[in-house]
């Protein structure tokens, strides 16, 4: 592969996709939560406390946002020299990932004395915190490189992160099935090695390509194919006892599918190069030069979307929260002073917090309802699929409605939060196999929030400090998870437990908890609806015109 192709936003996108596919370990907590509970002697509330620190680490990415801004802002490039660019953010994440999961693995296997609960919480936080560094670098670089299709690229990046849980579980099923302690070691090694190998390829490009959407749709198609393939594998493993050789073949096919985005990137870059060569010929007088947008044209930076056509200041004023300067992105302190920030924050507590509490306790809910270990592991894997569909679908669909009709993206937050509330009520009902339907509704809706929230941040507050702002709002996720997991689910579960080993069986173990979460999520619907009405005109006039203008 020649140097020109390696230095393109398409290869940067592929590298980001591959890193995203390896770093979603926080979504597979259900695989090793039981062995963590048994080897460390935890009750359910203590296990939920550890899982909350995992959630805090995986979602409170303010440090990663600050580091990303520091090493990528143009004014810092000359001063930092070699120590600038997204690769530094990836390197910081790789170090944390290895240290955190390796120490947890050593404690579970008895290589070191059993860690006190505060220390276990610390190392779980460190391990999960790595995910925010990988995710921030990949998502914000993607929005920078594809500013006109922010929803689509965020959906792709967040979608592959959602798929990574199922991908890692396929790796577990092939390499060390039935040995969850070894899986923790895999979590220490896999994301670390993948990110260190690929981090130098993730870069920012101030470019605008004519066929961006076409090639992004090709990445999306690959993601859908991989999701369908993983779903089929999960159902086959539920029905059949697949031998090792069969699992090895299916995993090899999965690796082939994961490699396919590279072909899309090479084709996209060659088309851009051909278009650029044609433009040079036309410039030399062979033809009148038409208007060309190419990978190499930086005359108009597509991410500099604060420079807007005239007449848009009035729409900005109607939001009541905009910076007087049309061309400036809001920084974190300015965003904190807006009503829109806090509406988005509260809606995120209700949506992401309750969704995260569900996935953290899905194994225990399945156990209480009489599901087998194979069924609960399948539910964890399927959660990754549903999570992907929400992340990918919400970004893709909201982009379509925004480009065609100027629909305000917060409206899709209203719709998905409503679906999330219904999912909680389904799980609370406890009817036969309710977890399959309930986890589908909750998983899709939860994933949608992760796609919509960062994109809304970039549109309302700007791309310049997007990493810091959306990671600050993301703190709402572990905050909500702590409230729901420890203070609601864990407390009610332990009260309902009758046996000495802190286990509970029956629908009463979790029914009240999920009814409470359904009520809180409905409150989040009302908050998101308020955000929609506040930003509706802004989207119709400012954001839509900016997209059409670019």
Q: Which residues contact 74 (CB under 8 A, 6 or more apart)?
A: none
> Under a CB-based contact definition with an 8 Å cutoff, are residues 60 and 132 in contact?
yes
**Euclidean distance between CA atoms 432 and 148, whole angstroms:** 45
337 burial via Cβ count (<10 Å: 0-12, 13-18, 19+)? exposed
- The predicted structure's pLDDT at residue 2: 56
Nearest to 521 by CA among 358, 397, 385, 406: 358
Instruction: Give the tens place of pLDDT for each residue, 450-475.
Output: 899 999 998 899 887 888 998 899 88
What letter does residue 483 receive in the DSSP assignment?
Answer: I
- The predicted structure's pLDDT at residue 279: 66
Q: What is the largest CA-CA distance in the chain?
A: 86
What DSSP element (H or E) covers 473? Answer: helix 466-473
Average pLDDT, the chain: 84
Reported in sequence order, the residue ranges of 98-158 that DSSP labels E, i.e. its strands, are none
Reported in sequence order, the residue ranges of 152-218 that DSSP labels E, i.e. its strands, are none
> Under a CB-based contact definition with an 8 Å cutoff, are residues 121 and 15 in contact?
no
136-140, 160-164, 297-301, 418-422: segment of lowest average pLDDT:
297-301
> Under a CB-based contact definition with an 8 Å cutoff, are residues 445 and 390 in contact?
yes
The number of C-alpha atoms within 13 Å of 11 and in the hemisphere containing its C-beta is 16
Place of tokens 């400036």: 328
Q: For residue 326, is pLDDT > 50?
A: no
Place of tokens 């779903």: 231
Q: For residue 398, is pLDDT > 70?
A: yes
The average pLDDT across 101-127 equals 94
Q: pTM value?
A: 0.77
**Euclidean distance between CA atoms 168 and 183, whole angstroms:** 9
Nearest to 168 by CA among 138, 191, 192: 191
Cα dihedral value 151, 152, 155, 159, nearest 10: 180
5-9, 25-29, 52-56: segment of lowest average pLDDT:
5-9
> Given pLDDT bands bounded at 50, 70 and 90, which one contains residue 285?
low
Joined together, the tokens standing for residue 95 give 């170090």
- The number of beta carbons lying within 10 Å of the beta carbon of residue 218 is 18
- Crossing angle (nearest 10°) for helices 373-405 and 410-429: 160
**Euclidean distance between CA atoms 84 and 81, whole angstroms:** 6
Q: For residue 189, is pLDDT > 70?
A: yes
The average pLDDT across 103-126 equals 93
Higher per-residue confidence, 211 vs 368 = 368
Q: For residue 242, is pLDDT > 60?
A: yes
Percentages (nearest 5) of helix, strand, coil residues in the chain: 80, 0, 20
Q: For residue 294, is pLDDT > 60?
A: no
């Amino acid at each position: 592969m020649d140097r020109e192709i390696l230095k393109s936003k398409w290869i940067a996108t592929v590298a980001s996709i591959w890193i995203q596919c390896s770093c979603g370990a926080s979504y597979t907590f259900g695989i090793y939560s039981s062995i963590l509970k048994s080897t460390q002697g935890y009750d359910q509330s203590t296990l939920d406390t550890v899982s909350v620190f995992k959630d805090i680490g995986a979602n409170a990415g303010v440090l990663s946002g600050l580091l990303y801004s520091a090493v990528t802002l143009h004014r810092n490039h000359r001063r930092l020299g070699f120590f600038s660019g997204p690769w530094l953010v990836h390197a910081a994440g790789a170090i944390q990932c290895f240290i955190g999961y390796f120490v947890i693995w050593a404690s579970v296997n008895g290589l070191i004395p059993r860690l006190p609960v505060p220390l276990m919480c610390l190392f779980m936080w460190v391990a999960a915190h790595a995910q925010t560094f990988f995710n921030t670098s990949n998502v914000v670089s993607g929005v920078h490189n594809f500013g006109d299709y922010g929803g689509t690229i965020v959906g792709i990046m967040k979608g592959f992160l959602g798929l990574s849980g199922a991908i890692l579980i396929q790796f577990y099923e092939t390499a060390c099935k039935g040995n969850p302690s070894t899986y923790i070691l895999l979590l220490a090694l896999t994301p670390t090695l993948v990110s260190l190998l690929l981090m130098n390829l993730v870069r920012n490009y101030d470019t605008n390509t004519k066929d961006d959407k076409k090639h992004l749709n090709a990445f999306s198609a690959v993601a859908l194919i991989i999701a369908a393939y993983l779903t089929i594998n999960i159902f086959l493993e539920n029905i059949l006892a697949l031998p090792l050789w069969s699992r090895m073949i299916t995993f090899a096919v999965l690796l082939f599918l994961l490699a396919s985005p590279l072909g899309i990137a090479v084709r996209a870059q060659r088309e851009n190069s051909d278009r650029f060569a044609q433009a040079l010929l036309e410039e030399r007088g062979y033809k009148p030069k038409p208007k060309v947008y190419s990978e190499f044209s930086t005359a108009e930076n597509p991410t500099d979307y604060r420079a807007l056509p005239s007449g848009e200041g009035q729409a900005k004023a109607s939001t009541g929260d905009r910076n007087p300067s049309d061309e400036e992105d809001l920084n974190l302190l300015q965003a904190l002073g807006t009503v829109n920030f806090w509406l988005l924050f509260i809606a995120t507590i209700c949506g992401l917090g309750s969704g995260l509490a569900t996935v953290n306790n899905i194994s225990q809910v399945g156990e209480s309802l009489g599901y087998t270990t194979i069924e609960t592991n399948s539910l964890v894997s399927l959660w990754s699929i549903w999570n992907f569909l929400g992340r990918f679908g919400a970004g893709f669909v909201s982009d379509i409605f925004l480009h065609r009709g100027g629909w305000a993206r917060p409206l899709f937050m209203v719709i998905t939060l409503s679906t999330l509330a219904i999912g909680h009520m389904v799980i609370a009902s406890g009817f036969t196999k309710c977890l399959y339907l309930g986890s589908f509704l909750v998983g899709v809706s939860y994933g949608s929030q992760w796609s919509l929230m960062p994109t809304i941040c970039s549109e309302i507050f700007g791309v310049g400090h997007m990493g810091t702002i959306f990671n600050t709002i993301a703190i709402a996720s572990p905050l909500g998870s702590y409230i729901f997991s420890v203070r609601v689910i864990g407390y009610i579960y332990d009260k309902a437990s009758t046996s000495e080993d802190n286990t509970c069986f029956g629908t009463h173990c979790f029914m009240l908890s999920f009814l409470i979460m359904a009520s809180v999520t409905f409150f989040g619907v009302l908050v998101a609806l308020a955000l929609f009405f506040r930003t509706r005109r802004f989207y119709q006039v400012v954001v839509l015109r900016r997209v059409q203008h670019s």
